[in-house]
Structures are given as C-alpha cells and as structure tokens.
A and B are shown apart, each in its own frame.
Chain A
Amino acid sequence: MDISQLVREAKRGSTAAQKCLFDQFADKMLLLCRRYVKSPEDAEEIMLDGFYKFLKNLPAFTYQGDAALHAWLKRIMVNECLMFLRKKNVFTIVTESAAEETVWAEEVLGNLSAAEIFNLIVQLPVGYRTVFNLYVIEGFDHKEIAALAGISEGTSKSQLSKARSLLQKMLSKKGIEYVKRKAQ
C-alpha cells in the first residue's frame, strides 16, 4: 500500500493505516527530534506529541504528494521541538552584534558521513544547535528563525556563527584524522 492510500485510510480512522504511517516515519522523525533535543527520552516524547497532532489533524490535510506530507510532518516535529526548548527556556542567549565569518574546510565537510554530521551537531550547545539546525538543515532564514525561536535576528546570526566556529574546531581534528586515513 502506498502513502496516498495509507493517508486516505488513516483519514477514515483506520488504526492499521495510522500504524503503517507511524512505522514509516517514526525513525526519521525521532532522529530529527534528537538533533534538537539531546535526551533520547525527551526526543521520543516530542515525537509522540508530534504524531498525535499529525494524526488528529490528518482529516483536514489534503494530500498533494509524498514530499508535501513529509514536509508537513517535519514542520510539526520541528515546532514541537521548539516548543519544548522554549518551555525549558534555553533561548536566553546573550546577544552579540559581531558575527565572525568562519572559513570552512570544504574538503572535509563534503566527505563527512551522515552519522558523523549527526554526532557533530548533537555535540553543539543547545542554542547553537537549534539555530544551526534551523538554518543549515531546515533551510530557514534568520528572520524566520527569530520568529520561531523568539529571538532577535542578530542573536540568530551570532549563534550560527559561533556554532560554525565550534564545528570548525571539532572538524579540524576529524579532518586531520580523515586526511591521515586517506594517506594511509
């Protein structure tokens, strides 16, 4: 059964179809939540909250392709993560006007695996991580991030800059290792 049929059945209230949709997206959504929230338990709770909203609002959703459904579900999850972080008051970030431009080691970054990228992002502090996820992975601009996270645009820019410089430091070690491994 393809996703369109599953959505149709789930809209009618079929528990089996709802479970199929959950099985199909649960892993990806859990990883998405874990990119924002470090704790696996909290991430799972957030994912369940997101799926609850997804299934409750599914009858009002008009299916326009798998990508649209996937994007909608992702947006629900990101919103849930931001709500959770806002409740925990992690966005009390000191605003810094100057955002230094960091020079990226492009060769190293291009060759990183998905798991390595994931582990690098998770190691970032919560404020840096949230802005980095929203800007680089989800593709929001600073204005949108400011509205979503309840911070100023300047804060969003500075947080991204700091996240990048910190990643650079972490990657420099990885890059050296990577280069060394290649040379061998």
Chain B
Amino acid sequence: MLNEKHNDPFGWKNKLESLTGLPGEAAPGKDAAWEKLQERLQQKPRRNRVAWYWAAAGILLACIIPLLTANKKEDIVVRSKTQPQNKIAPPLVLPLPVKETVTAAKEIEKRQVENRITKDQHITTSKTNLKKEAPVTVITQTNIEKDPVTIIIPAATTDTAAMVSVAAPAKKKLAVVHINELGSPSVQAFPPPNYVQAPFKIKFKSGKAANQTFASQQQYAGGFKIKLSSKN
C-alpha cells in the first residue's frame, strides 16, 4: 500500500468508506446476521470435541491392540515349552527308507527268537495262519522309545504350523502300524530264505477254494490279490 494516494487521485476511497448504505436498497437485518454468526461461534467447539473423542478412541485402540497380540504370542510359547514334558500329542513318525527296512527285518527276526514280542504287538489278518508267521510290529506309546526302527522327530519350535499341531490336544490315541516292516519284494528281505510257510485256504469269489503256500521265492514275488470280505 505504498502508492495509496497515487492509486486513488480522486479520493474514491474516502468517499466509499463514508458510505454506510445504498440508497435504493433496504438496510440488511443485522440481528438475523448476528444470530447466524453466534450459531457458528457456538458450533465450532462441538466439532473440536468430536475430534477429541475420535483421537481418544484411536489412542485407546492403538494401546489395546498391541497388548492383545502380545498376550496371544505368550500363550503359544508357553504351550510349546510344556509339550515335551507332558507327552500329550503323538510324536511324528516317518516311513523308513529301503536300506533301513532290511535292518528292521533282522531286528524282527531276533525278536521272534527271543520271544520278546507280546500278543498285543501282533495284528491278526482275518482267519489265516499268517498271524503267527508274519508278525507286524505295532508301535504304541510304550514301545516307541525301545523300537530302534521308528524315528521320532521332535516338533520344531520355530515352525508355527508344527507348533499349532503340537499344541492341539489329541482326541484319540491310535496305534501306529509300520507297513514297511513287512518288506518289499524288490528287497527280498521278507520272507527270509529259510522261511517255511504254512498252507492256507483261499476262497475265490466264484466259489472255488484252493490251498496255497509260498513254496518258493518266485511264487511270493508273483503275489496274490486277495479281496477280504466279512465272509472270509
């Protein structure tokens, strides 16, 4: 506003400032305008209050959420630590590789000689005589530690999925059977060379019945497909 006088050589500014109303127009209602202004002056603090409420709610949430998440993490850690002591969940058992199966078969043979295997550790296969001759090791919780064949992998504490599986309570304790211990034909570990097979009856679907024995290795390698039913 340096050149105020230069800008207004005819004194228009002073004339306009002295003007209080326009001749053709009615004077505006000051009271109505003042009421509007007062409303605005009273409304603004309310908006501020609402903003404060929102800010407080946000801070509360920011405090509560980390606390809740921290509690959950602690729970998981405690359970995983206590798990090995209680031995509630069954241990993970992996199938053995082929080489180890051979040693497993030898172990079974030794056990047969020593008569250590109890009746509970055998599985009967229907009415056949196989139950005496073809023992299958049943792994229960009692003999897990003694059995050299089984591999027990402890639950990894770092793996969250494993942690969750360990933390979950076991509903039923089911016995784990190692089918690998029966051996495979390729390995030819079972039946052993000096193995004498007792004859057994096979009843076919057509009604024919036949006696059969594992006379030789070849016959065993060929194998039979037997469909077990309730009639057998």
Contact = CB atoms under 8 A, between A and B. Distances in A.
Interface string A109-145: 1101111011000000000000000011111110010
Contacts of A30: 28
16 contacts: A19-B34, A22-B30, A26-B28, A30-B28, A31-B19, A31-B20, A44-B28, A48-B37, A52-B37, A56-B41, A56-B44, A110-B10, A136-B12, A137-B13, A137-B16, A138-B13
A55 B41 contact: yes
Given A138-B1, A139-B3, A139-B7, A115 B22 contact: yes
Interface of A: 15, 19, 22-23, 26-28, 30-31, 35, 40, 44, 47-48, 51-52, 55-56, 104, 106, 109-110, 112-115, 117-118, 135-141, 144
Nearest to B27: A27
A48 B33 contact: yes
Interface residues on B, range: 20 to 34
What secondary structure prevails in chain A residues at the interface with B? helix
B4 interface: yes
Contacts of A138: 1, 13
Contact of A141 (B3, B37, B44): B3
B97 interface: no
Count chain A CB atoms within 10 A of each CB in B7, B13, B17, B44 and give the residue with the most: B7
A52 B41 contact: yes
A24 B38 CA distance: 16
Given A26-B33, A109-B10, A115 B41 contact: no
Contacts of B127: none
B15 A114 contact: yes
